[in-house]
Chains A and B, each alone.
Chain A
Amino acid sequence: MKPAMRFSLLIAATLLGGCTDIGTPTRPIPYESRLFIPFDNQGQPAVDSLRFHWPRSSMPVRYWVEDSLGAPALVRNAIATWKSAFLYNEWDAIVVSDSTSADVIVRVENIPPKPSPATIRLASLRPECEGATDVDTVATRQEFLVPVRVFLNPKFQSDSLGLCMKITATHEVGHTMGLLQHSGDVNDIMFTDPQATRLSARDIATVEALYHRDSDMHPVRP
C-alpha cells in the first residue's frame, strides 16, 4: 500500500472516531441560595426572596482581610477553592490592601451585635471557631450594600482550630458570593455547622446555577 493511501486511511479513521459531540453531565440539584427577608419595606411581616450574585462589572471582587491569625491566607485559599468551582470564569476575587475600595471586609474578632435590625446575619457555628456574614439589602430590596462584612472568630485554642478557621473562611466567602442560605446536608461546605473540608458536588452545582441566573440585587456603596 502506498504511503499516501496509508495516511489517507489513518486520517479517515481519525475523522470517523472524532465525529461526536461532548456529553454534558447531569449536575446535582442545587440547594436554596436566595436570601429570605421576613419583613417588607415598611418593616411589616412579609417574606421576600432575593437572589444575588456579583455582576461581571464587579470582577474581581475585592476582599480586605484583617492581618490576624493568618486570615489573609485563609481567605486566599477560600477564594481559590470557590474559583475552582467555575468552568467559565463566572466569578473571581482578590485580596486588596485598601479597605476603602473593598467589596468585602473580613475581620478577625468577636462577632459584634448586628448593626441594624434590617441586617441579615448568616452565622456558622463550630465548637472551636465561628463565623458570620452580615448582609444588608437596604430598603429598596434591589440593592446589596457593600462592603459586605464578615467576621471570623477563633473561640479557643485547639489542635483543630486551624482546620476550623479554614472551613469557616470558605463557608463565609461562600455567603459573600451570593450563597445566602445554609444547606441542609452535612456534606456541603454551606451546611450551618460546616464540617466538609472541600466543596461538594452540590456546592459547585449551586454556585454554578446561581451565576447563570439573573440577580435580583446589584451592589451599591453608600
Chain B
Amino acid sequence: MRILNTSLILLGLTTTASAQQVRLGARIGATWSSTLMKDVIIAPITVKAGIAPTLALSASIPGGRKYRLGLEAVFSTASVKATENGIDTDLGSLRTASLLLGAEGPLMVRDFYFRIGVGLLKYLPSEKTGIFQQGGPTRIIGNFTAEYRKSLRPGWEWVVAARYGLSSFTTKELQSRGFTRSQAVHRAGLEVGVVKDF
C-alpha cells in the first residue's frame, strides 16, 4: 500500500510538472490465467480462474527521446473453480488489482509499441473461505504488452493491446497448511482502448 501511495504521489507531482506531455490511456478486454495452484488429497486438484473482464488504465510522461515512463493499473474479476476428476467446484469470484511502474516505446514495426512494467498484484477474493480464509495475497507481477495504435483524430489514438504477465500465487492459508514455494501464474490479455495526449 505504501508503494502504491508513493507511486501515485510521484506520478501526481510529475504530471503537474509536465502537464503538456502527459499521455493517458484506457483499455477494456479479457484476461486468461493459468492454474493458480495444484493439490493432491485423493486425486489431483487444480484451482483456476476463468476468463476475466479487464480494465487497464495508464498514464505516462516522456522519459527520453523515444521512451515514456508511466504507471499502469489493471483491474479484473473472474470466477474461480477447483477441478477434481473433471468435476468443478465454484470457489467464488476473485478480483485482482495490479499497479505497475513501467516504460513504453516504439517497436521496430510502424504503429506497434511496447509497454513493460513491474509492480504489485493484489488478489481480492469475494469470500474469506477455503484457500483465501486468511485473505488474498499481494504478489510481484511483470507485464509485457504489445500495442497497435492508429490515429483517430488529433491527440487521440485507438489501441489494440496484447498483454502477457507473470506473477506467482500462494496464500497465507496455503503456507500455514504446509504448501511450499508458490505457483507461477501466466496471464494473457487482449484489450482495446484509446490513448489521449495532453
Contact = CB atoms under 8 A, between A and B. Distances in A.
Interface string B82-118: 1010000111100000000011010000000000111
A11 B64 contact: no
Nearest to A5: B103
B84 A212 contact: yes
A88 B105 contact: no
Interface of A: 2-4, 7-8, 10-11, 14-15, 17-27, 56, 83-84, 86-90, 208-209, 212-213
B67 A11 contact: no
A88 B91 CA distance: 7
Interface string B43-87: 101010000000000000001100101000000000000101000
A14 B84 contact: no
B140 A2 contact: no
A21 B84 CA distance: 18
30 contacts: A2-B64, A4-B67, A7-B103, A7-B118, A8-B116, A10-B118, A11-B116, A11-B118, A11-B142, A11-B166, A14-B142, A18-B140, A18-B168, A18-B182, A20-B168, A20-B181, A20-B184, A22-B179, A22-B182, A24-B38, A25-B178, A84-B133, A87-B131, A87-B173, A88-B47, A88-B82, A88-B84, A89-B82, A89-B130, A213-B42
A83 B39 CA distance: 18
B145 to A, nearest CB: 11
Interface of B: 37-43, 45, 47, 63-64, 67, 69, 82, 84, 89-92, 102-103, 105, 116-118, 129-131, 133, 140-144, 166-170, 173-174, 177-185
Nearest to A6: B103
Contact of A22 (B142, B143, B183): B183
A4 B64 CA distance: 10
B41 A27 contact: yes
B91 to A, nearest CB: 6
A-B pairs, top 7 by smallest CB distance, nearest first, are A25-B178, A23-B180, A14-B142, A11-B142, A22-B183, A88-B82, A212-B42
Contacts of A208: 41
B39 A14 contact: no
A21 B184 contact: yes
Given A10-B142, A88-B84, 7 more contacts: A4-B105, A20-B182, A22-B180, A83-B129, A87-B130, A88-B89, A213-B42
Nearest to B140: A14
A56 B84 CA distance: 14
Contacts of A3: 63-64, 67, 69, 103
B179 A24 contact: yes
A122 to B, nearest CB: 24
B160 to A, nearest CB: 21
Nearest to B178: A25
Contacts of B117: 7, 11
B67 A2 contact: yes
B79 to A, nearest CB: 13
A87 B177 contact: yes
Contact of A25 (B64, B102, B141, B177): B177
A18 B166 contact: yes
A11 B89 CA distance: 34
Contacts of A20: 168, 181-184
Looking at A17, A56, A84, A88, the one whose CB has the most chain B CB atoms below 10 A away is A88
A23 B40 CA distance: 10
A100 to B, nearest CB: 28
B130 A4 contact: no
